Chain A
Amino acid sequence: GAGVSQSPSNKVTEKGKDVELRCDPISGHTALYWYRQSLGQGLEFLIYFQGNSAPDKSGLPSDRFSAERTGGSVSTLTIQRTQQEDSAVYLCASSLDLSTDTQYFGPGTRLTVL
């Protein structure tokens, strides 16, 4: 079946611009996660959604980062006034529900801020 999909696969933007990254989780998965992977680094948790509940934003690095999830499915991660240090691969993952540990990742969006 279809896995987690993300778009765009690559995004190049200028410093100070806003960007939107999209994630479409596996059908039927109610939990959705965003992680950030900086060059040569491990994955850093950003934000978590479970169904229509309020998200866990504890990993967001600054108030320039926000995310929403419409209808309990597709999620958008927005970065306002991008900075060069925001350059990274942004990965989305989903899991079946709150009690399921296994997370399945999408291919990621590579963001480059010039």
Chain B
Amino acid sequence: GENVEQHPSTLSVQEGDSAVIKCTYSDSASNYFPWYKQELGKGPQLIIDIRSNVGEKKDQRIAVTLNKTAKHFSLHITETQPEDSAVYFCAAKRTGRRALTFGSGTRLQVQP
């Protein structure tokens, strides 16, 4: 089955700096890659997703890139703000498979 590895496990940046979180996946048939943000005591919130027919997707300060050949994808957050502090999870899924396979999460702390 699918295996998703995520790093780093923790990331501390200064407000205004950029943050990058990376994930690799094992199943070359995976074609859907969402990113979730989870704040303390809350459920994961979808922030951006990308499909395998696209190499990059942006939404304001966040962007996701996908390298199908290398089987890795990354989340980029620019101009970080204290409210970006949370745990971020990547996930992967292929058509026909019901469940998302999640990475182990990255705790991002933005220092004011």
Interface residues of A (CB under 8 A from B): 4, 6, 31, 33, 35, 40-45, 48, 50, 56, 59, 91, 101-108
For the A-B complex with A4-B43, A102-B49 known, give 18 more contacts whose Cβ atoms are closer than 8 Å.
A33-B98, A33-B99, A41-B105, A42-B102, A42-B104, A43-B91, A43-B102, A48-B99, A56-B98, A102-B34, A102-B46, A103-B100, A105-B36, A105-B44, A105-B46, A107-B41, A107-B43, A108-B42
Give the CA-CA distance A57 to B43 in the complex, in Å. 22
Q: Nearest Cβ in chain B — how far from A61, in angstroms? A: 14
Residues from chain B with Cβ under 8 Å of A102 in the complex = 34, 46, 49
Q: Nearest Cβ in chain B — how far from A26, in angstroms? A: 12
Mark each residue of chain B from 57 to 93: 1 if its CB lies under 8 Å from any CB of chain A, else 0. Answer: 0000000000000000000000000000000010101
Q: Nearest Cβ in chain B — how far from A111, in angstroms? A: 14
Residue count of chain B within 8 Å CB distance of chain A: 23
Residues from chain A with Cβ under 8 Å of B100 in the complex = 43, 45, 103
Q: A43-B102, A48-B99, A59-B99 are in contact. Are A101 and B42 (CB under 8 A)?
A: no
Interface residues of B (CB under 8 A from A): 4, 6, 32, 34, 36, 41-46, 49, 89, 91, 93, 98-105
Closest residue on chain B to residue A99 by CB atoms: B95
Give the CA-CA distance A102 to B35 in the complex, in Å. 11
Q: Nearest Cβ in chain A — how far from B28, in angstroms? A: 17
